[in-house]
Amino acid sequence: MAKAPAVSFFCTECGYEASKWMGQCPSCHNWNTFAEAPSAPKKGPGKKSPSLYSAQSPVKIREIRPESGERVPTGSSEMDTVLGGGIVKGSLILVGGDPGIGKSTLLLQVCRNLAASGQKVLYVSGEESPSQIKLRADRIGEFPENLYLLCETDLGTIETQISALKPDTIVIDSIQTMFSEEAGGVLPGSVTQVRAVTGTLLRIAKGEAVTVFVVGHVTKEGTMAGPRVLEHMVDTVLYFEGESHSSYRVLRSAKNRFGSTDEIGVFEMRGTGLSDVPNASAAMLEGRPEKGSGSVVVCSMEGTRPLLLEVQALVCRSNLGIPRRQAAGYDYNRVNILMAVLEKRGGLKMSDCDAYINVTGGIRVREPAMDLAVCAAIISSFRNRAFDRDTVIFGEVGLSGEVRNVSMADKRLAEAEKLGFARAVIPEGRKKATAPKGKIEIVGVKSVYDVMDLI
Ligand code: TYD
Ligand code: MG
């Protein structure tokens, strides 16, 4: 008797797969998100799944000659840093970010630079019309000869155009608008579509050594829309982030097969597109208050790059039953922990105070070395006494109030000195290891008590 074909279902939000339909997804708990997955095409004996590479038999690793380790500069030093020194030919690069943050602008500028250096570039847009893109291009400036534009969402047509044009670099803006026949009638942007489209792009990138940039939208939670599988398939994942009220944008690498992760590039959105901000520390400290409590400067490490940032705190008496706490650019839960440490170990009575923490410049920092600066800003605001303007401060704070070592203290101190800071408050343990090479005065602290004495 012929067996009925196995039908499986998947969640269009998170990609969870199940053998039967369900009202609520057990993984992401969304309702009514299950859709029927198309049955996989039957594999006949003669049908092989397409291979990414031409080598079909095992080869000795020492005999492999890499095509070329050379990197192609993107024309933006910030972008090159994030990519680990430039573009590796044939890589698939995913660029994610909130709507309107500037992904299309960034990639259009990269396309222009690559085309100007002699590459043939194809920009595929599924979101905007040619005239909309031309308007943006006009703001950015002059465009070279060999940059082509294709407004299309059907992947089959795009593939045909790619094989006719044979570009060196392709941009797909965005993955969620593309539609592949292979996925069989499922809506664009769904898990199945995103997976099928990425698979095809991967084959193009690896098979023909074409660099492919893919734009991806992010969900409310800040992760790439569609399944995580998208992030697994590509070589590099970059996130473009920033606050809407600030003109600064940060490009951060979350995954990079050809370089280190956590590298950042800083850009400024101007009337004429995005421009590199090579001296980010100076830009981040612009407009710092002359005098005033609750403002301190921290040196945080973003990848291998030291970055000076201003941390602000505002602690004031609350007129609510439950005091309000807010953090922008820093982990909210961490603020609560640090306030509890200051309350218990330092005796600061802040349980009836509202507290607001802000890292200026619209940058989000996740580094533990921020702890000490956040504590100092809170103490300074609570006591209404200004922290020394010429001092930087960094260190991790433990639950007993002890100040713990942080990595790369030398680099942080060098950056602080470069920007004219006279003093640095750092973990005592680091003080001995970091013999002062320059003129900057180093103050070692063992616990948050020591910091309280400084303010
Ligand atoms: P865009 O690249 O369209 O964002 P995304 O592709 O991530 O959705 O950027 C849109 C924003 O950038 C828009 O609000 C206008 C602004 N912008 C400038 O401020 N200056 C410029 O030169 C350009 C091209 C855009
Ligand atoms: Mg866009």
Tokens read off for 348: 């600061």
Q: Which atom of ligand 1 is nearest to the CA of 139?
A: 22
Please give the model's pTM, rounded to 2 decimal places: 0.80
Using the mean position of ligand 1's atoms as its centre, give its distance from the Cα of residue 391 in Å. 37
Q: Which residue has the tokens 């940039």?
A: 213
Q: Which atom of ligand 1 is nearest to the CA of 105?
A: 2
Q: Is the CB of 139 under 6 A from ligand 1?
A: yes
Long-range contact list for 348-353, CB < 8 A, 24+ apart? 348/379, 348/382, 348/452, 350/315, 350/378, 350/382, 351/323, 352/317, 352/318, 352/323, 353/315, 353/316, 353/317, 353/318, 353/323, 353/382
pLDDT at residue 28 in the model: 79
pLDDT at residue 152 in the model: 93
CA torsion through residues 405, 410, 414, 417, sign? positive
Q: Is the CB of 401 under 6 A from ligand 1?
A: no
Cα(306)–Cα(56) distance, integer angstroms: 45
Tokens read off for 66: 């890499």
pLDDT at residue 5 in the model: 47
- Please state whether the peptide bond connecting residue 174 to the residue before it is cis, i.e. omega within 30 degrees of 0: yes
Residue 392: count of CB within 10 angstroms of its CB? 25
Tokens read off for 192: 């199945």
Residue minimizing CA distance to atom 22 of ligand 1: 273
Residue minimizing CA distance to atom 21 of ligand 1: 273
pLDDT at residue 19 in the model: 85
Q: From the CA of 177, which ligand is nearest?
A: 2
For residue range 31-49, what is the model confidence (pLDDT) as tens digits?
A: 887 877 655 544 444 445 5
pLDDT at residue 124 in the model: 95
For residue range 373-432, what is the model confidence (pLDDT) as tens digits?
A: 999 999 999 999 999 999 999 999 999 999 999 988 888 998 998 889 999 999 988 776
pLDDT at residue 114 in the model: 94
* Burial class, 393, CB count within 10 angstroms (exposed 0-12 / middle 13-18 / buried 19+): buried
Cα(309)–Cα(363) distance, integer angstroms: 9
Q: Is the CB of 272 under 6 A from ligand 1?
A: yes
Tokens read off for 77: 């030093």
Tokens read off for 222: 């800040």
Residue 50: count of CB within 10 angstroms of its CB? 9
| Under 8 Å between Cβ of 95 and 107 | yes
Q: Which atom of ligand 1 is nearest to the CA of 269?
A: 19
Q: From the CA of 246, which ligand is nearest?
A: 1
For a mutational test of ligand 1's pocket, the pick from 103, 214, 269, i.e. the residue with the most ligand atoms closer than 8 A to its C-beta, is 269
Q: Is the CB of 136 under 6 A from ligand 1?
A: yes
Q: Is the CB of 430 under 6 A from ligand 1?
A: no
Q: Is the CB of 99 under 6 A from ligand 1?
A: yes
User: What pLDDT tens digit does each residue of the chain (455 aa) get?
Assistant: 444 445 578 777 777 778 888 899 888 788 887 877 655 544 444 445 555 555 578 888 888 776 666 889 999 999 999 998 899 989 999 999 888 899 999 999 999 999 999 999 999 999 999 999 999 999 998 888 899 999 999 999 999 999 999 999 999 998 989 988 887 777 777 777 888 899 999 999 988 889 999 998 876 665 655 556 678 889 999 999 887 777 889 999 989 998 888 788 999 999 999 999 988 888 888 888 888 899 999 999 988 889 999 999 999 998 888 889 999 989 999 999 999 999 998 888 998 899 999 998 878 888 899 999 999 999 999 999 999 999 999 999 999 999 999 988 888 998 998 889 999 999 988 776 665 566 888 999 999 989 888 88
